[in-house]
Amino acid sequence: MNLIEEHNKKYKFFADITGVAMRVHRKYKPGLLESAYEAALKYLLELDGYKVERQVYLPIYWEDVQLDQTYRMDLVVNDDIIVELKAVKFADKEHRHQLWNYMHLTHKRYGMLINFGSDSLFSEWFERDPLTGEISKVKLM
């Protein structure tokens, strides 16, 4: 297997999830609430054999003290992929920052930002380096 095939095989789940999101986008089109896309994506991913948790609570800590604040991650797939969904006209840097903060707080390795709010589905994929914590964009080759 060559390097490109190995790279694409390693990140196949990104393409799989994006493909399912495209099915949802084609059926529902833009204009629904984020929760409708979330429910459909969860259902279809589970049919494809993925383990999916919806609205996963994320507590916030100051050092060792849990604060009176939590966030909710839209979807967590196979315990290590955070999928942040949007239904807005344009996905912007604050949406990426939200996902990246979730990745840092949970130490999860992978993250996806998917926007259903425009005429074309928008999807970005990210990987967090477990040693440095740096997040980089992933592309299939």
For the segment 85-115, what is each residue's pLDDT rounded down to a tens digit?
A: 999 999 999 999 999 999 999 999 999 999 9
- pLDDT at 104 (0 to 100): 95
Mean pLDDT of the chain: 95
pLDDT digits (tens, 9 = 90+) for 7-41: 788 899 999 999 999 999 999 999 999 999 999 99
Residue 6: partners with Cβ closer than 8 Å, 6 or more residues away: none
CA atoms of 57 and 16, how far apart (whole Å): 25
Query: 40 phi and psi, to 5 degrees?
Result: -65, -40
- pLDDT at 68 (0 to 100): 95
Looking up tokens 């279809």 gives 44
The answer, yes or no, to whether residue 73 has pLDDT greater than 80, is: yes
The sheet carrying 81-86 orders its strands as 52-62, 65-77, 81-86, 110-115, 122-128, 135-138
Of residues 77 and 140, which shows the higher confidence score? 77
